[in-house]
Amino acid sequence: MIRFLYTVLLFLVAPILLFGLYKRKPGKPSFGPRWKEHFGITPKLTNPTSPIWIHAVSVGEVIAVTPIIKALKIQNPYQPIVVTTTTSTGAEQVEKLADLVEHRYMPIDFSFAVRGFLKSVKPNKMLIMETELWPNTLHTVAYNNIPITVLNARLSEKSYRNYQKVRPLFDILAKNLSHICCQYQDDAHRFEKLGVDKDKISVTGSVKFDISIPAEAKLAGIQLRNQLGSTRAVWIAASTHKGEDEKVLAAHKEIIQQQSDALLILVPRHPERFNSVYELCKQANFNISRRTQDNVSPQSQIYLGDTMGEMLTLLSAADVCFMGGSLLGDKVGGHNMLEPIALGVPVINGPSYFNFQEISEQLLAEDLMTICNSEFEMANSVLNAWDSNTQDIQERTDKFMLRHRGCIDKTLKLI
């Protein structure tokens, strides 16, 4: 009965959800005729052998699961893998994996759509990246005797409380899961408190610690830094959201007053905001260049990162990083600060980081991250970072990442 009521509700809100999904926005790839895949009209795979099905909602999840995909392929080069995403930007990210996987769009959470997908693809197991749990999908997949494992699972205190409010619905979700690979013991404990069988839970760590920085990204970062000015002071505001850019620009004005040649690399989280952020910078009277126009000069005060999939390159070109999604109260909860840390770039974060609670606490304890509550504090933190011993920071970030590696090996043993 609960699943029936859920399905009725989903039927009513689906038009709104689909409108938001298909709405055209600048910089957002079109779904084209592939929109039918959301309804279970899924093309067969090139390799008819039963594949591993990995679901990664969008860009962030695809990037996070990529090391696991590569490890699976090293383990068995002939194992076909299909990756589903909900968004077209996620699909674009999957295309960068070339011949390792095939991409299909995730069917909407209606049983008929999921059945259509399963009939066409015939997966032997389903791996869900992080905690993207849909009642009808899990029920239909489990009903067809396909084991379901959640990878890199996290359950914040906020999410735990929300699931408690709909405990009967969560019980339906949990009974269909074969295993949950949690990032931390706290996540595992919260799943247990929600009634998940202890035998179904493992703590494997965060796959984000197993990040491998491609040599070409480092080289591209060095080349970009030379282009921006090797002797200039450069900082990056990564994955910013609407409402944060104004604070970042205010901080940059403060910084320029003390470091006149300072350069800010500004990277909005969502591509549809590239143009509006560009206009915002112009209105604030900054001399701004865009990566897509390749027009940076010594007079440029802001370099707009208006491309997708180049975050590692942009981070490599900076001395210090402010990580966005952390100055908006409880709306976002921060983004992955381990990418700059893996590059030896110290991190400044806002006070909201509940999506990365454990990682943040570890970084704070080792003085590898600074918290700022305002644009004034952000500016001071950036200036202080430029005065720090870069060799010492690099050594400490390397040791930090090395201590926490191993998630991929543990995960492969389980799946």
Condensed to tens digits (0 to 9), the pLDDT of residues 107-126 reads 999 999 999 999 999 999 99
Domain with CATH 3.40.50.2000 in the chain: 215-402
H or E element, residue 313: helix 311-316
pLDDT tens digits for range 14-68 = 888 887 887 877 767 788 889 999 999 999 999 878 999 999 988 888 988 999 9
Interval 184-210 mean pLDDT: 92
What span, in angstroms and rounded, lies between the C-alpha atoms of 17 and 54?
Answer: 22
pLDDT at 187: 92
Cα 171 from Cα 180, distance rounded (Å) = 14
Distance of alpha carbon 153 from alpha carbon 340, whole angstroms: 22
pLDDT per residue over 60-103, tens digit each? 889 889 999 999 999 999 999 999 999 888 888 898 888 899 99
Contact indicator for 327, 348 with CB cutoff of 8 Å: no
Say if residue 198's pLDDT is above 90: yes
pLDDT at 363 over 90: yes
Q: What's the rounded mean pLDDT across residues 387-398?
A: 88
Annotation says 61 is catalytic: yes
Q: Which residues contact 66 (CB under 8 A, 6 or more apart)?
A: 97
Residue 345: per-residue pLDDT: 94
* pLDDT interval class at 214 (50, 70, 90): confident
Helix (H) or strand (E) run with residue 281 in it: helix 274-283
Q: What integer best gives the mean pLDDT of the chain?
A: 91
Mean of pLDDT values over 378-394: 91
Element (H, E) at 331: none
- The predicted pLDDT at position 31 comes to 85
Q: Could you identify the residue written with the tokens 């942009």? A: 314
Flag whether pLDDT at 131 surpasses 90.
Answer: no
Four-way CATH pick for 215-402: 3.40.50.1580, 3.30.110.30, 3.40.50.2000, 3.30.70.3190: 3.40.50.2000
To the question of pTM greater than 0.85 for the whole model, the response is: no
CATH code for residues 23-211+408-414: 3.40.50.11720
Task: Give the tens place of pLDDT for each residue, 236-250.
Answer: 999 999 999 999 999
Question: What mean pLDDT is predicted for residues 266-277?
Answer: 94
What pLDDT, on the 0 to 100 scale, is given for residue 267?
97
pLDDT value of position 11: 83
Q: What is the mean pLDDT of residues 183-198?
A: 93
Q: Give pLDDT tens digits for 278-290.
A: 999 999 999 999 9
pLDDT of residue 212: 80
Residue range 382-397: average pLDDT?
90
- The pLDDT value recorded for residue 6 is 83
Q: What is the mean pLDDT of residues 154-174?
A: 88
Q: Which segments of the chain belong to CATH 3.40.50.11720?
A: 23-211+408-414
313 pLDDT band, cuts 50/70/90, is very high
User: Considering all CA atoms of the chain, what is the largest pairwise distance in Å, rounded to the nearest integer?
Assistant: 66
Q: Residue 159: which pLDDT band, with cuts at 50, 70 and 90?
A: confident
Q: For residues 83 and 92, what is the distance between their CA atoms, to the nearest angstrom?
A: 12
